[in-house]
Structure 1
């Protein structure tokens, strides 16, 4: 994607049609956001550990391992760039029991903060490579009861998400973030002839 598409008008319209108001659906705190969240309007703070967000938004939500051998909490690894993807992210957020997501990232991210996150992407990638190898394996003796074969498909799906995240870090995320930097600085989508900033 070249440029930037703002998902929030679409997201607000979608949420307005739900039974739950936005201030009850999006209660995640910026101070509690997962460091793996890619910059953008959507992010996850402290979520449940049920690991079901990928059922509705596999192209956008991943799980960490911060709670030990099993699933930890969720995070956004790819921001939505069209209406269909925005709907998927909203659905994924709805699945989260603690309502730990939020969509106010634009109020917190700065140009400098996005560039700092990008400079530290090697740390994110290193984590993703390690967990994808672990959760993509066929045996997990260190997971305790989570090593039961009934969970294997769930872990393998999560590992697919981590591999997708790695691929996006390598090809695609830089272009998105350049457009997002433009948005943060100008507060409008790039027009023809307007150059995007560098990361």
Structure 2
């Protein structure tokens, strides 16, 4: 990935994120469930809209199934989806300034503690299996998607590329050596 997902945002889309022009403590309030990257959420009023707008990037978790970013966008279309998810989330719970908070060390710490995410996904799967409403069925599909991403090595590869970005100021080109997690 040689492009900057945040640079893909238009000015109107940037205004959808709670961190735009604000001095809120979003970074300190971020949910631990968010995967490292420029996009993340804090506690929000989940109206189950995030997956409607960004099904490949947003999932629900915790006691109130709040929205969080389980995969950073990989294309301009996914950036657009996250911007729409941010726009429809009524408490301005999405942020796009993760690059100022994440460090290579923090990404590695998050990765080292990934068993917490695996346990959380198992609990969410069990809870969602109790319901057959369309939103729960979709959320359960998202849990399976995240579990596959976590177990396939896809997330590890993406995080290695992100650690490269944090160190070099850009995503790696094909063939460049990636740092270890």
Provide the TM-score with structure 1 as the length reference.
0.81
Q: Tell me, in whole angstroms, the C-alpha distance in 2 between the residues paired with 1:120 and 1:25.
A: 27
Tell me the equivalent position of 2:7.
9
Which runs of structure 2 are paired with 1:166-185 in the superposition (5 Å)?
166-171=147-152, 172-185=154-167
Count of residues in Structure 1 that have an aligned counterpart in Structure 2:
175
Tell me the equivalent position of 1:163.
144
Q: Tell me, in whole angstroms, the C-alpha distance in 2 between the residues paired with 1:36 and 1:5.
A: 24
Q: Tell me, in whole angstroms, the C-alpha distance in 2 between the residues paired with 1:134 and 1:193.
A: 42
Tell me the equivalent position of 1:50.
47
Which runs of structure 2 are paired with 1:68-147 in the superposition (5 Å)?
72-138=65-131
Q: Which runs of 4+ in 1 moved over 6 A?
A: none
**Change in CA separation of 1:134 and 1:85 when aligned onto 2, cut-off 3 Å:** same
CA RMSD of aligned residues (A): 1.8
Q: Tell me, in whole angstroms, the C-alpha distance in 2 between the residues paired with 1:114 and 1:87.
A: 25
Q: Tell me, in whole angstroms, the C-alpha distance in 2 between the residues paired with 1:62 and 1:168.
A: 13
Q: Tell me, in whole angstroms, the C-alpha distance in 1 between the residues paired with 2:41 and 2:165.
A: 21
